[in-house]
Amino acid sequence: MRFRAFALLLAGVALLGACDSGKNYDSDKGDDDYDLAAMALGQDDLPSGFQQIPGTEFTGSEWAEVFGSDDPEAKQQQLEAQGWLKNYVTESVPPRFGKVLNIRSVSTLYTNEKAAQESTAKFACGLPIDTSKPIDEFIVPKIADQSNGFFVEEAIDEEGTTLMYTTVCFRTGRIVHVVQEAALPGLEDIGSGLRTARLMLAHVDDAFDGKKRPAADDEDDEG
């Protein structure tokens, strides 16, 4: 754990200025006025060869199902009690086996800033993990209004193979954003997660500023 924290500090020194944008994020817009899809990671943010699966917006009932609970209705009620409204999720996979095996972005809208603050600090940024178990946190520089970082280990088969998700989340007003990069245990990279979070923050800032994101066809033409 000390080694991870030391590595993070080295990466954080270089990224601190870029991550703390000093912006004021409006929390008084209508729920439908926040373009969560525009805040997500895009194809141009990914390492060479990665392919992004079309993003998905989840409702409370759909996200409750992702938790794998025996009582999804109770889980949905719990999410609603925590101020959870909706989220937008992207998934990206590499062309072949490598160091990074998956890149995910999540933006979750909450009813108010207090609910978003509590999600970031107490409820694993709204991710579908068991928060009753200890979370392996690491130090992150301040990103936007609030930030947090932790590792999540997830079993992917019955033989006990696991992936480690390096998770960086940050809050902008009443929206909590998450970047996760999956790797085999021991190959996780905090610095890479922070760089990806910085790319996402740029999209978030543009969305709050009303800047339109180039269409995929326009980006291809420019390339």
Q: Please tell me the predicted confidence (pLDDT) of residue 40.
A: 98
Residues 155, 162 contacting (CB under 8 angstroms):
yes
Q: If you search the block for the tokens 């991710």, which residue do you land on?
A: 127
The letter for the amino acid at 55 is: G
The letter for the amino acid at 121 is: A
pLDDT digit string, tens, across residues 156-183: 887 888 999 999 999 999 999 999 999 9
Fold of the domain spanning 2-25+35-211? Protein Transport Mog1p; Chain A (3.40.1000)
In whole angstroms, what is the distance from residue 56 CA to residue 48 CA?
23
| Average pLDDT in the chain | 88
pLDDT digit string, tens, across residues 98-115: 899 999 999 999 999 999
Q: Please tell me the predicted confidence (pLDDT) of residue 133.
A: 76
Q: Taking the domains of the chain in order of start, what are their residue ranges?
A: 2-25+35-211
Q: Which of 1-5, 62-66, 128-132, 158-162 has the lowest mean pLDDT?
A: 1-5
User: In which element (H, E) is residue 109 found?
Assistant: strand 102-110
